[in-house]
Structure 1
Amino acid sequence: MKFCPRCGSIMLLQHKNKGKVLKCLKCGYEEKNIGGENEVKVQPRKDKSKILVIDKDIEMKIYPKINITCPRCGYHEAYYELRQMRSADEPSTRFYTCVRCKFRWKEDE
């Protein structure tokens, strides 16, 4: 794994002009892949344990509902959650997800 010398982000191996380069997706810095320490090796996963995938529809059902109009589809009901996005002395932000179209929007309190 190599980190960008400019911004510190992880650099990814990309194919370019019949060669390989390491590129930072954040700032665009590129470096030729000389091999050795930058060589990418793919190993098959030995752990065959299952990965849990959570269905978004099931996940949303744990949130309370409120009567509010969706700005996208006009439906009258949405799930909501409160999150503290700013400092503790600031009010929390309310996130809504439309029950029908799953559109997500926020409202600062």
Structure 2
Amino acid sequence: MEFCDDCGSMMKAEDGVWVCGSCGAERARDAADESSMVTTQGQEESEIVDTSEVEAEDMGPTTDAHCPECGNDRAFWEMKQIRAADESETRFFTCTECDHKWREDDH
């Protein structure tokens, strides 16, 4: 990712140059610099972990949360960053009774 020296906006790669979407400034691309950049392209998604044989006390923290499936009022919870780094994390719940999974902003 590159940022414009003139206005500070994020630049986009186009035809061998970086182009600022705000002010139109251009800068030549440098293959050596870009080889050290981290991208999401080609990265694998995280593996699904089977927790069916894990003891309840080893599952992690619990909290008061109403399960929309069975009505139970206790759930395991975890926080995950699923959006851009400048946005807040999302809290995921798993019912301690029926193992139903939902996230905080589900309705």
Shorter-chain TM-score bucket reads 0.3 to 0.5
Q: Could you state the TM-score of these two structures normalised by the residue count of structure 1?
A: 0.45
